[in-house]
A = this chain, B = another copy of it.
């Protein structure tokens, strides 16, 4: 597997399985001089960790992060920041029943086809637990973005048919509600829906929106590493995401050019702004100074207690009810994962963006040498 690293200049490499000794991440290329403590990271870990509210799995993991390297006297040193999260609450026996069976909606079959066998305990490497390592890395990147005046945040936009009312948007609710919705009314309704799903031994999907405000214009690389392309890569790599939209997303395919184009307008202080933001802050793959807006569509949790048809390793039909401890909806805990993956992609793009002009390079080195 050659796919555990994301990013080009700022490179995030994760490791770990759901029921192995630990998960972790190495962030290489992170700049020196950013103040960071384990609590800064832990705050993000806590937003993702299981067992914190009635909507999530009762698996109770501390998800305590330990910084192993790259920080000295409270600041990053420029060398790789490695972070470790020990697994402490594995119930591997829960999974013995499925070790020779392919759970619908999961990667079990693909892993066996690819590697010949798999670590079947809790989904192994393909478990949602793997995202804990991403969150640790993203938390670090958020510290850098904040230093640059960039505000990157995500929230639950919908669960099933329950959608937030944008006019009721209340940012503090994102981290206070069980659903991650910035609308307390919608949160209540969504929580009821999730409870109903759990009662039916079923699960439900939803959407997460991520916004980044304060991005300078011109970030992203033309052609293959357009900012929307790397953001999509980052977010689509989260297990349960099946669609990614930028700005107005899928609705553009039914729009006219005259409706969809965002007029440029004179802003204050000689700045150039856009009158509307159908584009979601990215034009031709480069940031355009409007807020970046990305939406991820999550499928319903594939692990459900209802009986399902499937096959075993030998291809024989079997019936399966997935036991273990599972969230009836992925979205609330995925909010911080989407936010963190976007933060990683943006931070990498910002670092790459520094060497676009020879004048800047010359100024940089004449000042430093």
Contact = CB atoms under 8 A, between A and B. Distances in A.
Contact of A256 (B6, B80, B219, B300): B300
Contacts of A78: 1, 114-115, 356-357
B222 A308 contact: no
Contact of A225 (B3, B262, B263): B3
Contact of A29 (B1, B75, B289, B368): B1
Given A21-B68, A275-B309, A105 B260 contact: yes
A222 B368 contact: no
A237 B253 contact: no
Contact of A242 (B26, B223, B246): B246
Interface string A345-369: 0000011111111111110111011
Contact of A107 (B33, B255, B284): B284
Contacts of A20: 68-70, 72
A54 B2 CA distance: 41
Contacts of A236: 226, 228-229, 232-233, 244, 246
A93 B68 CA distance: 20
A46 to B, nearest CB: 22
B105 A279 contact: yes
A299 B253 contact: yes
A95 interface: no
Interface in A295-324: 297-304, 306, 308-311, 315-317
Nearest to A313: B272
B315 A109 contact: no
Interface stretch (A55-63, A123-131, A171-179): A123-131
A21 B110 contact: no
Nearest to A157: B253
Contacts of A207: 253
Interface in A20-61: 20-24, 26, 28-29, 31-34
B270 A315 contact: yes
A119 B223 contact: no
Given A26-B13, A216-B113, A243 B246 contact: yes
Interface in A74-120: 75-82, 84, 102, 104-107, 109-119
Nearest to A247: B242
B362 A354 contact: no
Question: When A and B form their complex, which 9 residue pairs have the shortest distance between CB atoms, in order from nearest?
Answer: A107-B284, A3-B225, A3-B221, A110-B286, A114-B218, A113-B218, A216-B369, A203-B257, A2-B29
Contact of A114 (B114, B119, B356): B356
Contacts of A226: 3, 236-237, 239
B262 A104 contact: yes
B29 A283 contact: no
11 contacts: A4-B79, A17-B70, A26-B26, A105-B279, A110-B220, A110-B284, A114-B356, A148-B362, A197-B256, A229-B237, A242-B279
Nearest to A314: B270
A337 interface: no
Given A14-B80, A17-B70, A115-B357, 6 more contacts: A2-B28, A24-B26, A109-B264, A144-B361, A203-B258, A264-B309
A168 interface: no
A266 B317 contact: yes
A144 B270 CA distance: 32
